[in-house]
A and B are shown apart, each in its own frame.
Chain A
Amino acid sequence: MKTFKLENEPKIETGFKTPDHYFENFSIKMMEQLPKNEPKVISIFQKRKTLIMMAAAVLILALMIPILSPSSTNTKELDAVALENYITYQSNVNQYDLISVLETEDINNIKTGIVLEDEAIEDHLSTNSNLENLILE
């Protein structure tokens, strides 16, 4: 087959046609589609849209502060540590104060706790090297 060269050929047209009077009608159609106020209407809508988006963004951020803010979580952890330290080293609370606060029910609970651990005490005593000394005493 012979080699095809674009420059040796007569120019190939696109072959595209338009309907009759297309461009005359297009101008008329286009001018009707361009009312003077149209761009303004669009700009107000866009402004309103931006406002709504901004409000939504601020609301979401505000809602996320308690969940995401690292400072508030840190404060909670620090509080627990500080409280423990306070009770251990600073406070005047002693075991008698604690006992006076306990209800009868709490004391019963503690008792059952002890009963349940009887076996453990037995084990502990049997393996304790000082057991004989204790019995002798």
Chain B
Amino acid sequence: MQEEQEFINHLLDPKTQNQAFQQLLQDYQRPLYNHIRNIVLNHDDADDVLQNTFIKIFQNLKNFKGESKLFSWMYRIATNEALTFLKQKSKTSGISSETLQNKTIDNLEADVFFDGNEIQIKLQKAIALLPEKQQLVFKMKYFQELKYEEISEILGTTVGGLKASYHLAVKKIEAFVSTN
């Protein structure tokens, strides 16, 4: 925690800022990209959202109070950015967010940056049927293999609540894949 505070100080000090931010990018761009990509599904959108996320992180570093870990704070920003992005996208295209998600999944098969087979597409379709919160929990737990404690700090939900959400999500996904 002390190390982290030191790192944050480097990020805020104009002399060390550039180097520290480069380090931050090196450490977190991949996990944050994966997290965002799991939500928005296509590469170009993930790229946009990742840029906005790092700009937000950079601008808000001075307001970071250290109440949570830097890691979960950045994940929280990335989650909000990705969800806001999807809402705006569905609004501008005049379709519901569910329709948008299904459309994006249908486009995955033709996506050059998607290398998946039938079961992967089916899994994405099953996830799309879940409520937003269950989708997030499932993706963070199953794909990214985050710990419940980490997810709890990012989403602000109790570990018990997260376990219940994940369990429900798995049941619904298994039921969908078995019958389709």
Contact = CB atoms under 8 A, between A and B. Distances in A.
Contact of B22 (A3, A15, A31, A33): A31
Contacts, number: 79
Interface in A19-49: 19, 22-23, 26-27, 29-31, 33-34, 36, 39, 42
Contacts of B170: 6
B126 to A, nearest CB: 10
Interface of B is mostly: helix
Interface of A is mostly: loop
A95 interface: no
A1 B120 contact: no
A27 B26 contact: yes
Interface residues of A, number: 27
Contact of B37 (A3, A16, A29): A16
A15 B115 contact: yes
B53 to A, nearest CB: 10
Nearest to A36: B14
A14 B174 CA distance: 17
A31 B174 contact: no
Interface of A: 1-6, 11-19, 22-23, 26-27, 29-31, 33-34, 36, 39, 42
Closest 7 CB pairs of A and B: A15-B116, A4-B177, A4-B178, A15-B120, A27-B25, A17-B113, A16-B37
